Structure 1
Amino acid sequence: MADWDAESDEESPSKPLSALPEWEPVRWGSSSGQKVSSSVRSGKEERQSPSRENWRSRADGSRGRGREYRPGGGGGGGGVAWEFRKSRESGSVPLCFRLDNSVVGTVIGRGGSKIRELEDSSGSKIQIVKGEYESDVKIFGSDETQKRAKILIDDLVKRYGERPERDSKFCGRDSTSGYSNSAQVASSANGPRRPIINWASIRENKEKYEAMKWAGLPPVEKMFYRESKVVASRSREEVAQWRKENNNIICNDIKEGEKRAIPNPVVTFEEAFQYFPEIMDTIQKVGFLKPTPIQSQAWPIILQGLDLIGIAQTGTGKTLAYLLPGFIHLDSQPIPRAQRGGPGMLVLAPTRELALQVEAECSKYKYKGFKSICIYGGGDRKGQINLVTKGVDIIIATPGRLNDLQMNNIINLKSLTYLVLDEADRMLDMGFEPQIMKILIDVRPDRQTVMTSATWPDGVRRLAKSYLKDPMMVYVGTLDLAAVNTVEQKVVILPEEEKRAYTRHFVDSLKPQDKIIIFVGKKLIADDLSSDFSLQGVPVQSLHGNREQCDREQALDDFKKGKVRILVATDLAARGLDVQDVTHVFNFDFPRNIEEYVHRVGRTGRAGRTGESVTLVTRKDWKFAAELINILERANQEVPEELLLMAERYKQHKMKLDNEKDMAKPRGRWHRDF
Structure 2
Amino acid sequence: MSDWEDEAEEPSAGKQRPRAPASTPWMPPQSHKQRSYREEGGDQPPTRERAWEPRGQREGDRGGFRRPEERSWSSRELPRQPETVTGGGWSRDFRRQEANRELASAPLCFRLDSSVVGTVIGRGGSKIRELEESSGSRIKITKGDYDSEVKIFGSSEQQDKAKTMIDDLLERYDERPETDTRFGYKEIRPSRSADMSTTVTAPVKRGINWASLRENREKYEIMKWADLPPMEKNFYKEASNIASMSQDEVTRWRKDNNNIICDDLKEGQKRPIPNPIRNFRDAFDHFPEIMSTIKKVGFDRPTPIQSQAWPIVLQGIDLIGIAQTGTGKTLAYLLPGFIHLDLQPLPKNERLGPGMLVLAPTRELALQVKAECSKYTYKGFKSICIYGGGDRKGQINVVTKGVDIVIATPGRLNDLQMNNFINLKSITYLVLDEADRMLDMGFEPQIMKILIDIRPDRQTIMTSATWPDGVRRLAKSYLKDPLMVYVGTLDLAAVNTVEQRVFIIPEEEKRAFTLHFIDSLKPKDKVLIFVGKKIIVDDLASDFSLQGIAVQSLHGNREQCDREQALDDFKKGIVRILVATDLASRGLDVHDITHVFNFDFPRNIEEYVHRIGRTGRAGRTGESVTLVTRKDWKVASELISILERANQEVPEELFEMAERYKHFKIKKDSERDMIPRQGRWRDNP
TM-score, length basis structure 2 = 0.71
Q: Secondary structure at the match of 1:238?
A: helix
Q: Distance in 1 between matches of 2:447 and 2:329?
A: 20
Amino acid at match of 1:419: L
- 3-state SS of paired residue (2:368): helix
Correspondence for 2:282:
271
The residue identity in structure 2 corresponding to 1:211 is: I
Q: Which residue number corresponds to residue 359 of structure 2?
A: 348
**Residue 661 of structure 1 pairs with residue 661 of structure 2:** no
Question: Counterparts of 1:291 and 1:316 in 2: how far apart (Å)?
Answer: 10
Does residue 426 of structure 2 align to residue 415 of structure 1? yes
2:255 is matched with 244
Q: Does 1:379 align with 2:396?
A: no
The alpha carbon displacement at 1:615 in A equals 0.3
The Cα of 1:181 is off from its aligned counterpart by 8.3
| Residues 343 and 413, structure 1, Cα contact 8 Å, conserved in 2 | yes
SS in structure 2 of the partner of residue 488 of structure 1: strand
* 1:227 counterpart letter in structure 2: E
1:535 equivalenced with 2:549 (yes/no): no
Q: Match of 1:617?
A: 628
Please list the CA deviations of residues 364-402 of structure 1 after superposition, one character each: whole Å capped at 9, or x if unmatched.
000010000000001111111011011000000000000
Letter aligned with residue 662 of structure 2 = K
User: How far did 1:574 drift?
Assistant: 0.4
- Taking the aligned partners of 1:547 and 1:662, their CA distance within structure 2 comes to 47
Matched, 1:396 2:407: yes
1:219-258 matched pairs, under 5 angstroms: 219-258=230-269
- With over 3 angstroms needed to count, the CA separation of the structure-2 counterparts of 1:622 and 1:268, relative to structure 1, is same
1:447 is matched with which residue? 458
Residues 35-81 of structure 1, C-alpha deviations (whole Å, 9 max, x = no match): xxxxxx989xxxxxxxxxxxxxxxxxxxxxxxxxxxxxxxxxxxxxx
Letter in 2 for 1:470: D
Q: Determine which of 646, 649, 652 is the counterpart of 1:635.
A: 646
8 Å contact 1:254–1:473 — kept in the other structure?
yes
Whole-angstrom distance in 2 between the partners of 1:275 and 1:625: 51
TM-score, with length taken from structure 1: 0.72
2:655 equivalent in structure 1:
644
| C-alpha distance in 2 between matches for 1:219 and 1:481 | 41
1:516 match: 527
SS at match of 1:367: coil
Q: Aligned match of 2:589 in 570, 578, 590?
A: 578
Instruction: Report the equivalent of 2:604.
Output: 593
Structure 1 residue identity aligned to 2:399: V
State the secondary structure of the residue aligned to 1:608: coil
Q: What residue identity is the alignment partner of 2:417?
A: Q
3-state SS of the aligned residue for 1:466? Answer: coil
Any unmatched runs of 5+ in structure 2? 1-68, 72-109, 119-140, 150-162, 191-199
Q: Which residue of 1 aligns with 2:618?
A: 607
Secondary structure at the counterpart of residue 452 of structure 1 = strand
**Deviation for aligned residue 1:463:** 3.5
Match of 1:466 in 2: 477
Equivalent residue in structure 1 for 2:577, among 562, 566, 569: 566
Contact 2:230 2:345 in 1 (8 A): yes
User: How far is 1:665 from its partner?
Assistant: 3.6
Distance 1:670 1:441 in 2: 52
* Secondary structure of 1:267's aligned partner: coil
User: What's the offset of the Cα at 1:429?
Assistant: 2.7
**Separation (CA, whole Å) in 2 of partners of 1:639 and 1:234:** 42
Q: Compute the displacement of 1:314 (Å).
A: 1.1
Structure 1, gaps ≥5 residues long: 1-40, 44-94, 104-120, 129-136, 140-150, 185-196
Q: Of residues 312, 315, 324 in structure 1, which corresponds to 2:335?
A: 324
Using the alignment, how far apart are the partners of 1:182 and 1:284 within structure 2?
80
Retained in 1: the 8 A contact 2:322–2:463? yes
CA contact (8 A) 1:534 1:540 kept: yes
Q: Distance in 2 between matches of 1:96 and 1:297?
A: 67
Amino acid in the other structure paired with 1:560: K
- Structure 2 distance, partners of 1:383, 1:307, is 33
Which of 210, 216, 233 in structure 2 is aligned with 1:205?
Answer: 216
Question: In structure 1, what is the equivalent of residue 486 of structure 2?
Answer: 475
Provide the C-alpha distance between the structure 1 equivalents of 2:143 and 2:294, rounded to a whole number of angstroms.
79
User: In structure 1, what residue type is equivalent to 2:492?
Assistant: L
Asked whether the 8 Å contact 1:221–1:332 carries over to 2, the reply is yes
Correspondences of 1:179-190 after superposition (within 5 Å): none
Task: Determine what percentage of the aligned residue pairs are the same residue.
Answer: 76
Separation in 1 of the partners of 2:676 and 2:316? 56
Contact 1:246 1:293 in 2 (8 A): yes
Structure 2 CA distance for aligned equivalents of residues 417 and 42 of structure 1: 72
Q: Indicate the RMSD between aligned Cα atoms, in angstroms.
A: 3.5
Contact 1:228–1:271, Cα closer than 8 Å, also in 2: yes
- Kindly state the Cα deviation for residue 607 of structure 1 after the two structures are TM-superposed: 1.0
Secondary structure of the residue aligned to 2:320 is strand
Q: Does the CA-based 8 Å contact 2:673-2:683 persist in structure 1?
A: no
- Give how far 1:216 is off: 1.1
Q: How do 1:60-209 and structure 2 match up within 5 A?
A: 175-178=186-189, 201-209=212-220
CA distance in 2, matches of 1:362, 1:233: 33
Deviations 1:182-231 (A, max 9, x none): 999xxxxxxxxxxxx99874333222211110011111111110000111
CA distance in 2, matches of 1:470, 1:274: 28
Contact 2:188/2:202 (<8 A) preserved? no
Tell me, in whole angstroms, the C-alpha distance in 2 between the residues paired with 1:665 and 1:585: 49
Query: Rg larger in 1 or in 2?
Result: 2
CA contact (8 A) 1:345 1:418 kept: yes
Which of 496, 508, 512 is the aligned partner of 1:485?
Answer: 496
SS of alignment partner, residue 390 of structure 2: coil
> In the alignment, residue 411 of structure 2 is paired with which amino acid?
G
Matched residues, number: 519
Alpha-carbon spacing, 1:123–1:344, altered in 2? closer, same or farther (3 Å): closer
Q: 1:300 aligns with which of 311, 336, 339?
A: 311
What is the CA distance between 1:633 and its match in structure 2?
A: 1.0
Deviation string, structure 1 residues 107-159 (Cα, Å, up to 9, x no partner)? xxxxxxxxxxxxxx9899x9x9xxxxxxxx9x9xxxxxxxxxxx9xx9xxx9x
Distance 2:174 2:411 in 1: 33
Partner of residue 293 from structure 2, selected from 259, 278, 282: 282
Distance change in 2, residues 1:362/1:162 (3 Å) = farther
Is the 8 Å Cα contact of residues 96 and 168 (structure 1) preserved in structure 2? no
Conserved 8 A contact 2:674-2:681: no
What is the CA deviation profile of residues 645-668 of structure 1, one whole-angstrom value per residue up to 9, with x for unaligned ones? Answer: 001111111112122222234343
Judged with a 3 Å threshold, the aligned counterparts in structure 2 of structure 1 residues 42 and 422 are, in CA distance, closer, same or farther, namely: farther
Q: Contact 2:111–2:201 at 8 Å: present in 1 too?
A: no
Partner Cα separation in structure 1 for residue 646 and residue 215 of structure 2: 53
What is the rounded CA distance, in whole Å, between the counterparts of 1:265 and 1:650 in structure 2?
Answer: 45
Post-superposition offset of 1:467: 1.5
